[in-house]
Amino acid sequence: MARELTELFYSAVYAIPDSIYSAQQKAVWAPLPPDYVHWEKRLAKRKPFVAVLESRLAGFIELEPDGHIDCFYTEPDVQGQGVGSCLYQYAEQVALERGDAKLFVEASLVAKPVFEHFGFVVRRVNAITREGVVLTNFSMEKVL
């Protein structure tokens, strides 16, 4: 499943319109070719929650033990169909059951309104430089 999750990540990143993140920004965010070995190790450690729709991988979310949400991606062709909402609601329920006080994330320009919809607030705007290319994201949190 690691290969499928990796490809979903790349598919989601590269589907973002260039008007939001440029081709250069996407290239440093998700460098090609995909490093499947890296992703296999990462996913084995993080154990993301996955969504399957009609026998097909539709999305995933990573919830770390401290309440940090790292990767949260859905297949571009199912965005807006509730897959992300279901994944997020499941992750929040897990966090509540284990007693987390808050959830936090570094949300992309695309993910920011999604997290705002879930009740997150922006704490800081970040400019991350990778290979001389600046990516903007937002440190956001939600008190549970």
How far is C-alpha 15 from the geometric centre of its chain's CA atoms? 14
pTM: 0.93
Sequence-separated (6 or more) residues with CB below 8 Å from residue 129: 135
Q: What is the mean pLDDT of residues 70-95?
A: 95
pLDDT digits (tens, 9 = 90+) for 3-21: 999 999 999 999 999 999 9
Q: What is the pLDDT of residue 104?
A: 98
**Residue 26 to residue 80: CA distance in whole angstroms:** 21
**Residue 49 to residue 62: CA distance in whole angstroms:** 6
Q: Are 88 and 72 in contact (CB under 8 A)?
A: yes
Q: What is the pLDDT of residue 101?
A: 96
Q: Are 34 and 7 in contact (CB under 8 A)?
A: yes
Mean model confidence pLDDT for the chain? 95
Domains of the chain: which residue ranges? 2-143
Alpha helices, DSSP H, located in the chain: 2-14, 23-29, 36-46, 83-97, 112-117
pLDDT digits (tens, 9 = 90+) for 88-140: 999 999 999 999 999 999 999 999 999 999 999 999 999 999 999 999 999 99
Q: What is the pLDDT of residue 21?
A: 95
pLDDT at 80 over 90: no
- Domain 2-143 indexed as CATH 2.40.10.120: no
Q: What is the pLDDT of residue 16?
A: 96
Structure tokens at 116: 């705002």
